[in-house]
Amino acid sequence: MARTAFLSLTTLFFWVLSCTCALADYSILINKGINRLTLYDDEQAVKTFPVATGKNRSLTPEGTFTIVSKLVNPYYVKKNIPGGSPRNPLGPRWLGLSCGGGGEYGIHGNNDPSSIGKYVSAGCIRLRNEDVIWLFDRVPVGTRVKIINIPQTTNTPPVTNYTVFVDGRALTLNSGAKPLAAGETCLVPVRPAIEAMGYSGTWAEKEGRFDIKAGRCTISVWDNSNRAMVDNHPVLLPARSVISEGGSLCVHPDFFSAALGGKVSLEGKVSIKIVSPVGLLAGSGFIIPPPEL
């Protein structure tokens, strides 16, 4: 009877554990700028590891991929080294990425722990052996992997004053990044501009996305993209958004009219005039309607 009860409890434990793993919504963010890999469960960071990436920026691909293969003690074809050998540079585990069909680019261990944190690989992402085993045991095939390159800012960037006009009221703002020249126009740091209009914004690093709350309306804009969304309605901008050296997400001025419903005009390359929807700053609770697309 006791044995039966023990087996039943053991079975229940592993059933609960498997259900918990199945419910996990894992994704991986790799930032080459600081050589860090972060595992997320939904929107929550679970654990961060130091990694080694490509000898130059072009070697480790950037973008959004998926894990398409998982191998224990991978064989190193290039030098005919069997899996499990202490000479094997791939270490004990391999997580193959879709950008190379699962066999060209991967997240793997290594036989040189001193390389972790450095730019030394031919394109793969190296982890310490104990870290790659930990990761391997948790993430399934199909896990999304986003690779970005945002350098860590160690010095305080110079403060730049620029003027935003909201409903005819001039506000001189301080920002760590000045507007960026883009042909005949400029890209404008989005956070100080929307905060001047009375909105709040949050940066979702894992998604590379900046979300703006305006009443019941949610507006999103992505880095390195010319797309935006207004309550799931797509908006295309004339130019891609860019993360400046100071770490600010800069957007094309049309974002403020196409997505936020205001009126925008440029005054040279250092000022942008934004006329927000009537009554917004007066506290009337005005809700920005999605554009008709």
pLDDT (tens digit per residue) in 88-107: 999 999 999 999 889 899 99
pLDDT band for position 181 (cuts 50, 70, 90): low
E-strand ranges in 80-196 read: 93-97, 106-108, 119-121, 125-126, 144-148, 160-166, 169-175, 180-182, 185-189
The segment(s) of the chain belonging to CATH 3.30.457.10 are 160-275
The alpha carbon of residue 93 and the mean position of all alpha carbons in its chain are separated, in whole angstroms, by 25
Catalytic residues, by residue number, are 108, 124
Q: What is the pLDDT of residue 15?
A: 39
Tell me: domain 160-275, CATH 3.40.950.10, correct? no
Helix (H), strand (E) at residue 94? strand 93-97
Question: 2 falls in which pLDDT band (50, 70, 90)?
Answer: very low
Average pLDDT over residues 183-203: 75
Q: Which of 88-92, 189-193, 240-244, 288-292 is predicted most confidently? A: 88-92
Q: Which two tokens stand for residue 34?
A: 């600081």
| pLDDT given at position 116 | 94
Element (H, E) at 34: none
In this prediction, residue 28 carries a pLDDT of 93
CATH superfamily label, 24-148: L,D-transpeptidase catalytic domain-like (2.40.440.10)
pLDDT tens-digit profile of 115-137? 999 999 999 999 999 999 999 99
Q: Where in the chain is the domain with CATH 2.40.440.10?
A: 24-148
Global pTM exceeds 0.85: no
Question: What share of the chain has pLDDT > 70, as a percent?
Answer: 66
Residue 286 has pLDDT above 50, yes or no: no
